[in-house]
Structures are given as structure tokens and as C-alpha cells.
Chain A
Amino acid sequence: DAGITQSPRYKITETGRQVTLMCHQTWSHSYMFWYRQDLGHGLRLIYYSAAADITDKGEVPDGYVVSRSKTENFPLTLESATRSQTSVYFCASSPVAGTEAFFGQGTRLTVV
């Protein structure tokens, strides 16, 4: 199906483990983003990418790694998960700079 999909939808992991959240879009949008949503903070930008092989840090990048070898995929890796990284993670994409972003369904990650 066309659109932007995230996997998994739910994930429970242990402190110190590496975990990767996947994001795939079928629109060939240039921009892709990772946000985290926490109560009282709204959505905060973790990393984004303006094109394949171009990534930039957002507001809260510490503890996260991204890559974008293909336009359609933008995985987010937590190298050593901590409890403070328990959150809902959203992937989004947009065709060009300045326009609205289209969001995936979100991944609820719990670090125990």
C-alpha cells in the first residue's frame, strides 16, 4: 500500500539493548523525519534527512543513530536503550522543504 509505514507498532526492550525502528515510505519524498512524543513535551525532532545520505540532528539526537542509504527507508537505532527513551516514536516524510509532513502510525517503545 502507498504511504508511510512504521514497524514494529509496539516494542518492549531491556535497558542496554540495541533496538531499531523501521520506517518505509512509497512516495519518494525527499525529506524524512523521526520524532518522539512524550506527555508534556509534544513532538520533538530527533533526526531528519533531506535526501539519501544526508542526515541532520534535531532537538534531541543523543542516544540515537540514523542512516538513509535509500530514499524510501529511514531506520532509527537506539544503540543502548535507556528508560528515558520510553516514548512513542513517529516517522514522517515530506516532498520538499517547507511543506506539511505525513506521519506513520507511530511505534510505542517501552524500555524496562
Chain B
Amino acid sequence: AQTVTQSQPEMSVQEAETVTLSCTYDTSESDYYLFWYKQPPSRQMILVIRQEAYKQQNATENRFSVNFQKAAKSFSLKISDSQLGDAAMYFCAYRSIGYSGGGADGLTFGKGTHLIIQP
């Protein structure tokens, strides 16, 4: 079974600065997807960014980018020019490609990192 580890329960950053959230995962598969989700106080789960394992290029969405190191099984999220609206819980998630049954087809989440933005 796959596991996802977020080693930083909480991070704090000054507004307008850059912060990096860490995520490592364990899998024996060679092809898969990785995601970062944001959960603000409203509780809604919002997809921030997606990375396909077979793509070497790191995904970027505006101020959000990832550093995907497949050999090291690392998938960190960098937030540039942090804004007050970025304050939230951030979850790293893994999903296998294809249907295999047996409980292996959902997203596997890390425990989350609580990001605080200091004004």
C-alpha cells in the first residue's frame, strides 16, 4: 500500500515571502499522479496542483509550483509571494493509475500541513 508523509504539521511565513511544504511518499509503482489540495477554514477541498509521474517537468500554477523528485519520492509545494488567502491546511495526495480494486484506487492523503500567513 502507498503511504504519504508530510513531516511539517505547521508552517509560518511572512506575507509576500516564499514557503515550501514538504511531502514524501512510498510506492512500488512507476506511474501515478500526485496532488496538492488546499483546505481553508470553509472546509472545502480545493485542488491546487497536479503532477503526473511520467512527466519530468515540474508542474506550475501561477504562484504555486512543485519540485518533483521521482527517485527520491519527494513532492514539495512552493508558494511564492504568499498572500493572506493562502492560509489553510495543505494536503499532499497520491493516486495510482488504472483500476486495480482491493481498496487501491482512491487518493491516499498525508496528514496535512497547517500554513499560517503572518501579515
Residues of A that sit less than 8 Å from B by CB: 31, 33, 35, 40-45, 48, 50, 56-59, 88, 90, 92, 97-103, 105-106
Contacts and interface: CB of A to CB of B under 8 A. Distances in A.
A8 B43 CA distance: 15
A97 B97 contact: yes
21 contacts: A42-B91, A42-B109, A43-B91, A43-B107, A43-B109, A45-B103, A45-B107, A50-B101, A50-B105, A56-B103, A57-B103, A58-B103, A58-B106, A59-B103, A92-B107, A98-B96, A100-B33, A100-B47, A101-B95, A102-B47, A105-B43
A38 to B, nearest CB: 10
Contacts of A100: 33, 35, 47, 50, 95, 107
Interface size band for B:
20 to 34
A56 B102 contact: yes
Given A100-B33, A105-B44, A56 B111 contact: no
Interface in B64-94: 91
B105 A40 contact: no
Contacts, number: 68
Main secondary structure, interface of B, reads loop
B99 A50 contact: yes
A98 B43 contact: no
A40 B43 contact: no
